[in-house]
Amino acid sequence: MNRFLARQGCHYQDGDKWTQKHWAWIRKIHFDDMNAQTVLEESIRSVEQSQEQLKTFDSKIEENAQKPEYAKKVKRYQTLRGVSTVTSMTIVAEVWDMRRYGTAPQFMGSTGLVSSEYSTGDHERRGKITKAGNAHLRRVLVEAAWHYRHRASAGKTIKKRRQGQPQAVVSIAEPADQRLNRKFRRMVDRYNKKPVIAAGAVARELAGFIWAIGQIQD
């Protein structure tokens, strides 16, 4: 839809897209050309239907996450900021037993979030992330990583998620708040990296914290 609107000369420049404010902007648009107006209306209807389907899927995932075979793992991963029920369930579904990875770098590598390397003689150069791994895990980890661009203090929701969890789990999750926020801000503010690059780097380190929590068994 956004590409269609751009072709019609309509460019949204007032914040993030797909927010309530963005939707309000879209709904105010009207084209005199009936064909263009029809395309706009059908596009809006299509997006709304997709959003309703996603709500149904999310509801089903939330329901399954409460089942005994999933609940403990899901709740432990959710002690990390940005890790929603959908993210936790994706991790559980794709990995199940995190102990299959002997080290954190092994799990990071399985997501394709590690940097590629080019070696020539005594010289070594790092490139973009390999993306040679589990695309589902990589996607949810990067989405979670964006939460660390905000202030590092834990809010009411995350504090509630940590209540009742083993101290070993909380002692991993709490340092992640500060460390990952510092990494995101340092890359963007000090080293002038694009936010999307910072999100990828933070996602890689977040995978390490997830691995550590997954090693705790009781």
What torsion do the CA atoms of 40, 43, 44, 48 make, to the nearest 10 degrees?
180
186 and 153 part of one domain: yes
The pTM assigned to this predicted structure is 0.74
CA distance 13 to 8: 15
pLDDT confidence of residue 64: 84
- Asked if residue 4 is part of any domain, the answer here is no
204 and 149 part of one domain: yes
- Given a contact cutoff of 8 angstroms between Cβ atoms, the answer to whether 185 and 127 are in contact is no
- Asked if residue 128 is part of any domain, the answer here is yes
- Asked if residue 79 is part of any domain, the answer here is yes
169 and 72 part of one domain: yes
Please tell me the total count of domains within the chain: 2
57 pLDDT more than 90: no
Q: Rounded mean pLDDT of the chain? A: 87
102 and 177 part of one domain: yes
CA distance 85 to 188: 28
114 and 184 part of one domain: yes
CA distance 148 to 113: 17
92 and 163 part of one domain: yes
pLDDT confidence of residue 205: 94
pLDDT confidence of residue 128: 56
42 and 108 part of one domain: no
Output the six-digit token pair for 62.
């939330």
Percent of the chain having pLDDT more than 70? 92
- Per residue in 152-207, pLDDT tens? 777 888 999 999 999 999 999 999 999 999 999 999 999 999 999 999 999 999 99
78 and 173 part of one domain: yes
111 and 36 part of one domain: no
Please indicate whether residue 148 or residue 59 has the higher confidence score (pLDDT).
Answer: 148
Q: Which domain holds residue 25?
A: 14-61
33 and 52 part of one domain: yes
Residue 95: partners with Cβ closer than 8 Å, 6 or more residues away: 101, 107, 137, 214
- Per residue in 92-136, pLDDT tens? 999 989 999 999 999 998 888 876 444 444 444 544 555 667 888
